[in-house]
């Protein structure tokens, strides 16, 4: 299985920026589709990369850009929608996945890598998990023998530029106390560099075809432990107040209408399923303490970097 050219959807986002660098370093010719390519011209420093203007929800445009492409990578995903009925999730996850598979089959693309989510399930408790599950099943069930598919199911992804540790850091800097919903929810955070490596390593590996690959880091943390660790790296003291379930639901209902939707009822529902890998899953190697202080730490946090690396959460 040889792949020389790759077309990437969602390549201008957090995971995409890391993956593009690795694809370029591997000598691949990379085309990145974006509605606003002028906003991402910094990517053009990568050898072999082209930015193309496209509406990725337009079937004809997808087909045109997939012509003469060996492989397609779909990284598109959202954690919240502008509405409240699940249609935004369905458009971003299910409908786009359907269009991508159709365009791949139309143009004879031989390889598709698809970003799903850990515990994606059509019967899941949230719109996010249900639509991710439906999209994942679709790309595997409909692709046919002519399109080799691999999907990846990561836990929460961390690294420079993430919206996980950075979001909590932003809140902690300005709040003397943090009321925390779902404080006991568990995560197995996976480093963005390990996620990007998993995609690149699978691209030409026939053994990964038709596999659904869980991606988790080496350690499991509760949400409270993650927030407390973030405060420690920042070198600040904050009171973390775990909310009972009734208040957690109320917080989600209120925050859903705050600009930017920092927390929503759908997020609350997703947190009812621990984002940890099951037995037999080979963990990615890079841990939180090896990376997070390097991009999050204040002066105080950096001074205690070695100590933090030795501590167990």
Span 28-83, pLDDT tens digits: 999 999 999 999 999 999 999 999 999 999 999 999 999 989 999 999 999 999 99
Span 1-27, pLDDT tens digits: 899 999 999 999 999 999 999 999 999
Model confidence band, residue 301 (pLDDT cutoffs 50, 70, 90): very low
The closest of 22, 94, 98 to 59, measured between CA atoms, is 98
Contact 66/45 with Cβ under 8 angstroms? no
Q: How far is CA 171 from the centre of its chain?
A: 21
The whole-model pTM stands at 0.93
Span 180-226, pLDDT tens digits: 999 999 999 999 999 999 999 999 999 999 999 999 999 999 999 99
pLDDT, mean over the chain:
94
Residue 242 φ/ψ, nearest 5 degrees: -65, 135
Can you read off the two tokens belonging to residue 115?
């970003």
Residue ranges per domain, the chain? 5-159+190-215, 177-182+219-310
The CATH fold of domain 5-159+190-215? Rossmann fold (3.40.50)
Residue 178: its H or E element: strand 177-180
Model confidence band, residue 256 (pLDDT cutoffs 50, 70, 90): very high
Strand partners for 33: 9, 52
Span 285-296, pLDDT tens digits: 999 999 999 999
CA–CA dist 300, 313 (Å, integer):
18
Where does residue 171 fall: left (phi above 0), alpha (psi -120 to 50 degrees), or beta otherwise?
Answer: alpha
What is the reported pLDDT for 311? 38
State the number of CA atoms in the 13 A half-sphere of 71 facing the CB: 25
Which residues, at least 6 apart from 7, have a Cβ–Cβ distance to it below 8 Å?
30, 31, 32, 33, 65, 66, 69, 71, 72, 73
CA–CA dist 98, 111 (Å, integer):
15
């Amino acid at each position: 299985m040889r792949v020389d050219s790759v077309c990437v959807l969602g390549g201008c986002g957090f995971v995409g920026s890391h993956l593009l660098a690795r694809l370029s370093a591997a000598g691949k010719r990379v085309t990145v589709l974006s509605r606003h390519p002028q906003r991402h011209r910094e990517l053009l420093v990568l050898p072999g990369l082209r930015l193309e203007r496209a509406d990725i929800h337009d079937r004809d445009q997808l087909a045109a850009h997939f012509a003469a492409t060996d492989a397609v990578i779909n990284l598109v995903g959202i954690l919240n929608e502008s509405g409240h009925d699940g249609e935004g999730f369905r458009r971003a996850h299910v409908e786009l996945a359907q269009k991508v598979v159709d365009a791949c089959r139309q143009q004879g693309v031989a390889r598709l890598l698809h970003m799903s989510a850990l515990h994606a399930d059509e019967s899941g408790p949230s719109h996010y998990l249900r639509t991710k599950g439906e999209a994942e099943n679709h790309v595997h069930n409909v692709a046919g023998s002519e399109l080799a598919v691999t999907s990846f199911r990561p836990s929460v992804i961390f690294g420079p530029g993430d919206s996980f540790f950075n979001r909590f850091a932003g809140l902690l800097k300005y709040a003397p106390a943090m009321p925390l919903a779902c404080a006991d929810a568990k995560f197995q955070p996976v480093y963005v560099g390990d996620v990007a490596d998993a995609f690149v390593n699978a691209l030409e590996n026939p053994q990964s075809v038709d596999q659904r690959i869980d991606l988790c880091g080496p350690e499991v943390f509760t949400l409270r432990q993650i927030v407390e660790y973030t405060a420690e790296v920042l070198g600040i003291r904050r009171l973390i107040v775990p909310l009972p379930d009734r208040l957690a639901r109320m917080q989600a209902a209120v925050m859903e209408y705050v600009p930017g939707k920092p927390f929503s009822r759908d997020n609350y529902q997703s947190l009812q399923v621990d984002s940890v890998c099951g037995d037999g899953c080979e963990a990615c190697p890079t841990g939180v303490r090896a990376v997070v202080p390097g991009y999050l730490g204040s002066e105080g946090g950096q001074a205690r970097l070695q100590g933090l690396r030795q501590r167990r959460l």
